[in-house]
Amino acid sequence: MEGIPIGRKLNLLVHNGYQELVKTLEHMFDTTILWGTEMDGVQSERCHVLTYEDGEGDLIMVGDVPWEIFLSAVKRLKITRVDTFGC
């Protein structure tokens, strides 16, 4: 999570989809995490956006691809402040 110096490990294979993953991360970091189309019109300082880094180093919004493709492509998750995306 942006601003937290220590990374945490998470086994993605124990989750059945994006909703379970986001719920786990919200609990771990005590914040509201947006993903996919949920960002439209959001203006809250307490919200964060879930993105991931793929094998090529590109930063991609979580939810843009089916769960199975996400699992094969994700290298690192990143939780970023909403204002970073200009919302």
pLDDT at 14 over 60: yes
**pTM exceeding 0.85:** no
Q: Are 29 and 35 in contact (CB under 8 A)?
A: no
Do the domain assignments include residue 13?
A: no
pLDDT band at 13 (very low <50, low <70, confident <90, very high): very high
Beta strands in the chain (DSSP E): 32-34, 47-54, 59-61, 74-81
Tokens representing residue 50 in the block: 């879930």
Do the domain assignments include residue 10?
A: no
pLDDT at 15 over 90: yes
- What's 49's domain CATH number? 3.10.20.90
pLDDT at 40 over 70: no
Do the domain assignments include residue 26?
A: yes
Residue 72 CA to residue 43 CA, distance in Å, equals 32
Rounded percentage of the chain residues whose pLDDT exceeds 70: 77
**Residues spanned by the domain of 60:** 18-85
